[in-house]
Chain A
């Protein structure tokens, strides 16, 4: 690692900590930064309401933002390398839709309230079941796209296939929605806007545990990801068992995307835009550096998006998915326009 990289990573870490604290100050009630720091460090505040708001609502939400930022951007990075496609990402390839289908299947099978919001009402074992099913749904879609990708060379065509698979998956969910009650559809729609605010208490532990496992798997596959940069034939010639590496990468991506989508809804553009920003900023393709750097930039960006979503100074809150799309889509357009200059990464 060069001194410059060390400096950039250090600055990113510092920025994330600052972003985290600033995020805690924002919301329907503005809390001064000094008070927030005091609450975080000493568990005390001049106003007990502030203590409650920060500890019970804002810290879990900011932690969720950090987890979502790490998880989605690292899973996007893995997909871009695996598919050798700079335009790959969890929502672009229909992986997020797969997770949604997994969640829907649990609700259908259990015959309980048909809303994905109902995860909140389920107990700890219920949340494990949903995370498991969402990850399985993600893995299924990812496997399917990978199977089709083997026959394609064109970057844009692969993306279309991902969008189509996503459409099919969403159609299946829609059929089920069609036979549901209006209030349940409303709740489903709320879920599709995405929300960081609903992951509280034991759910946060479940989400952290699964995301951490996914990240460890991702880091363990960094050597394989580096070898895959040169393409599968070269990777095999360097002793890589491509099938095993793929399984590891699919497992990691599915856990990350599945768990995050189940709890927070489909959050777009973080997975595709952050890896690109990271590579441009750090100027490296080495995954041992890219993975932590992606995580830091991803979480910083999620904290920023969440801060914007609070609409500081107002009482309204924007859905998080809307903010990530507004920030992320221009990045993707910029990538496509400059594609002929630097195609892959």
Chain B
């Protein structure tokens, strides 16, 4: 990979960390558990990487690893967002 590109990506990484710090400090303790499970679901973004590793249906090692990664990442995404929603549904004001 081109060092220029990697530097560009690294810049985005650092900026995103700062955005994350800014956003998360504002989350009240009441919502810390849903925040964690929601963040968890977002880290399932690696699903995009898993998909890109399955360019064909051949049973190559790379594809099998990609397939395993895809299952795990999907569990993370689907399970993470759904359980977060289930929790947030319970936070009601009476």
Task: State yes or no: do A and B come from one complex.
Answer: no
The residues of A with any CB-CB pair to B shorter than 8 Å are: none
| Residues of B near any A CB (own CB < 8 A) | none
